[in-house]
Structures are given as C-alpha cells and as structure tokens.
Amino acid sequence: MVPLFEVVTVTLNPAIDQTLTVDSFTLQGTHRIDHKKTDPGGKGINVSRALAELGIPSMAMGFIGEANETLFTSRLEQEGIATDLIRCPGETRQNIKVWDPSANAVTELNDTGFTVPPSALHSLWEKLHQLPERVKWIVLSGSVPPGVPETVYRDMIHLLKDMGKHVLLDSSGIALMEGIAARPFLIKPNEEEMRQLKRGNETISAQIAALHRRGISYVFLSLGAKGAIGSSPQEHLMAVPPPITPKSTVGAGDAMVASILQSLMKGRTLSETLSWGVASGTAAASKSGTDFGTLDEIRKLKKQVQPVPFSEEMMIKGDRST
C-alpha cells in the first residue's frame, strides 16, 4: 500500500551512481579499487531517499530508462519509496564518482543520459496536472536531459504555483536561471551555481537580497565544508558543520534539501531549519556512496550546529581556512 504523501520529487535526469573508493587517486595512474558501491541516484531521487530516512513519505516522479529500469526501481521499492516514473527508450545513465579519502576529494564522471521523447514529456505534464490537492510540496531537482528544454523548470513552477504548491528548486546553469524567473518558493544553489548567477562585483548578501526582491521566499546556499547560508527576507544566517571524517560528498546537498523541507513542513524557524539542513548534509558526507544519515544521527550532529547572523567577512575567513 502506497502511504499518503504530501511531497513529490521530480527527477528529469536520473542516474545509477557508482562510487569507487580509491586512495591517492591520480590521473594516468593504475589504481586498485578499495570499495565499490552502487546506488539509485539523480538529485530528486536522492531527496526522496533522504526524506525516507526522516520518516517522510514522498512520491518520486520523472523519467527512467527502460533498459535498466528494474535495477533502479527495485532498490527504491526496498527503501519504501513510491515511484511514478515514465519509461523512456535507452538506459538510465551511470555516473562514476571516484572518492579519494587521503585527499578528501571526489572526481565525478557524469554521463549525459537518454534522450526524452516528446510523448514522455507530455505524459509528465499530464501527471503534474493531476497531482492531488494534499500534495503541497514539490522538489524540482537536477540537470535537464537531452530532449527537454532548458525552460522546463520555469514552466513547471508557473503551473505548480497556480495549483497552490510550494516549489523547491535545486538545479544549475540555464535551467536554474530560467527557474528563478518563475519565482519558486525556495532555491538551494551551491557556491559555484551562485557564482553563475553573479552580476559584476555583487556580494553574496547583495545576490541573496536581489533574489528575495524577485519573490523567492528562501535561499539556502550550500558551501561544502564551510557550511551553509540560510536566508529569508527578514533574516540571513550562516552555520558551520561539525567536524567529521568525510567518506563521500555525493548526495550531501540533496540530504540538506530533504531536512530543510522537513523543517519547513513542521513550521520551524529559519535557525532551526538551517541547523537541520547542515546536520543532514554532514551526516550524508560521513557515509560512503550515496547514503543518508538516520534521524538519530542527524539529531546528534544538529546539537553541534549554531547558526549566527551572516556577514561577508565570514566567507573570507572560510576561504582562508580551506
């Protein structure tokens, strides 16, 4: 029986993530793989998996390659995640992540993905139109595959807002810029994605303020090991993560999105929401492959996260310490 859900995640470009742990990885070298892990992925799928760890049911929607569909969906079924994925000709892309623990670094080799036919895109639009009223939260996350226009998130946000949904957007490049034009409820760029949005010598504070003026209620900027910034029109905070020994950063940003969403659903303050987000991302980074922290693990880490008012000087200090 599919549990009632208030959250839908949309993944246009799913992936099978293969994480290889290789110590002292170098280019043009021969290496032995210390550990190998395979997980269903794609940013929206990751958010659904992280939400499941938090006890929040969701429906994962989007596309899937029919050639290796079973490998993907069977794992999600094992984790209790409901799916409504549209089958497309071809294979779901396989992404390779090489994690080097000695350098605390990951090298990503991401495939492009299958081409989405017009009929599949039309089917997705029909499914979005038919979402039940109880679904209040939609996560649009990840890259845009071949066959789908870069304006897709913008158009989806317009539709979903007209239906009374809160839309969280986590993408990059043109897809992110187009999506911002439709004024989603929340965006979660990382540092590089925020740079892509920068105009001239704009400071982070100025960028965030401009996004709020455009009608975006929440901006969460993930900064990797430096932590994250959480902002509403009334308040701008930054939080530093507790120290851990990272094993993989893959999926950490998606774990952050899941805990931010959980907090917003529960009506928590911005400070609490940022604390949960940073703790969740930190828990995921302490896991191998694309795994996520349990609720108890995240709670313990959250006790060590203390958000403070944000200033540009904090970014400068963070850059010096990394």
Name the residues annotated as catalytic.
Answer: 254
CA within 13 Å, CB half, 63 = 32
Is-contact 135 2, C-beta < 8 A? no
- What is the chain's Cα-based Rg? 19
What is the per-residue DSSP string for 218-262? EEEEE-GGG-EEEEETTEEEEEPPPP---S--TTHHHHHHHHHHH
Q: In what order do the strands lie in the sheet with 15-21?
A: 35-41, 15-21, 93-100, 105-109
Tallying the residues shown for the chain, one arrives at 322
Burial string for 276-313 (b: 16+ CB within 10 Å, else e) reads bbbbbbbbbbbbbbbbbbeeebbeebbeebebeebeee
Q: Count the helix, strand and coil residues of the chain and give each as a percent rounded to the nearest 5.
A: 40, 25, 40
Residue 53 — φ and ψ, nearest 5°? -65, -25
Tokens of 35: 């550990």
* Cβ neighbours, 10 Å, residue 161: 16
Q: How many whole angstroms separate alpha carbon 295 and alpha carbon 292?
A: 9
* Cβ neighbours, 10 Å, residue 170: 28
